[in-house]
Amino acid sequence: MEKTITIDNKEVTFKSTAATPLRFKAQFHKDYFAEIIKLNRLNKFKDAKDNFEMLENADFEIFYNIIWVLAKTADNSIPDPITWLDGFDEFPLFQIIPEIQDLIASSIQSKKK
C-alpha cells in the first residue's frame, strides 16, 4: 500500500510492505509491532479532558520513527531519520498521522479469504 501527501510543501510518499517491520528493526533496534501496540494504548483517551494525560503517556519518538520508516520504504534514498526530519521546517505530526494510519493498519492486518 502506498500514499503520497504534502508536508511543508514537499510531496512525500509513504509505503508499507512486508519488509517495513524488518527495516524498522534494522534502523531503530525495536520491534515494529510492539511499538504499534504502544500507540494503541492511546486509544483509551477519548475525552478532551484526557488530552493532557494522553500527552503525558505518548512517546512521540514512536510516531516519528514509524513515519520515517514508511517514507524510507517508499524511497530508499531518504537519509537517516534526523537528517530527513531536519529537511522540514514544519512537520505537523497530528495532521500526518491520520493521513497514514491506513498504511500502519495494513502492516498489521491480514486480508480475509
Q: Could you tell me if residue 23 is inside a domain? A: yes
Read off the pLDDT of residues 29-54 as tens digits, 9 standing for 90 and up: 999 999 888 876 655 545 545 555 55
Do the domain assignments include residue 103?
no
Within-domain flag for 104: no
| Predicted structure pTM score | 0.82
Q: Is residue 78 part of a domain?
A: yes
In a domain, 109, yes or no: no
Condensed to tens digits (0 to 9), the pLDDT of residues 7-29 reads: 999 999 999 999 999 999 999 99
- Which domain, by its residues, includes 83? 2-94
Q: Is the dihedral of CA 74, 8, 50, 52 positive or negative?
A: positive
Q: Is residue 100 part of a domain?
A: no
Q: What is the pLDDT of residue 90?
A: 95
Task: Please report whether residue 47 resides in a domain.
Answer: yes
Give the count of domains, the chain: 1
